[in-house]
Amino acid sequence: MIFKDYYKILGLENNKVNINEIKVAFREQAKKYHPDVNSNNFSEERFKDINEAYRVLSDNNSKRKYDRIWYSNVGRKIEKQKDKQERERKADFLGVLFGHSSNINTENIKTKNKIPIKGENIETEIEISIEEAYYGLEKKISLRTVEGKMRTFKVKIPAGIRNRRKNTTNK
């Protein structure tokens, strides 16, 4: 069975509407999709759905019955979506305060599409011999990421580098 969201058909956001709002929404949609105004089959079917939605939602008893079904099919999904948005908003706020990325969810839920963000600079020291400093070289270093994985970087040490000198690279 296909569930029809009568509130959505009438262009209403949720079921917290009164009969006057339903009438206004019905009139707007009826004018927009009336078969005399639009000559395609889509508008005729849409107009039938609009009439059906108004017939059900304009009667208090049928509206009450429909609202129970609507809540189980649509209302819970909307509440879950709002809860998820609220958790993400809180995680973003805490991330700003404590320096965590907004990708890290408070419940450690792994998201499929992580958006890379620029983090803070990382400094480390590498010991090299005098000969390596004189001629220069490329060294590999491994660092642990926020997720706990090891990531290897190639660091180019220029020829003639001096003691305690910093070489900055942007990646």
The residue ranking higher by pLDDT, 14 or 101, is 14
Digit-coded pLDDT (tens) for 142-152: 877 767 788 88
Listed in order, the ranges of the chain carrying CATH 1.10.287.110 are 6-98
Reference 61, options 116, 5, 7, 19; nearest CA is 19
CATH class of the 6-98 domain in this structure:
mainly alpha
Other beta carbons within 10 angstroms of residue 149's beta carbon come to 8
Whether pLDDT at 141 is above 90: no
Q: For residue 51, what pLDDT is reported? A: 92
Give the rounded distance of the alpha carbon of 133 from its chain centre.
Answer: 48
pLDDT tens readout for residues 63-122: 888 888 777 777 667 777 778 888 888 777 777 767 655 454 444 444 445 555 556 666
- CA distances, 77 to each of 12, 48, 112 (Å): 16, 26, 21
Q: 71: closest CA among 63, 51, 170, 122?
A: 63
Instruction: Tell me what the pLDDT averaged over the chain comes to.
Output: 78
Q: At 2, is the pLDDT very low, low, confident or very high (cuts 50, 70, 90)?
A: low
CB atoms closer than 10 angstroms to residue 70: 21
Determine phi and psi for 142, rounding to 5 degrees: -115, 130
Q: How many angstroms separate the CA atoms of 155 and 166, rounded? A: 12
Q: Between residues 110 and 7, which one has the greater pLDDT?
A: 7
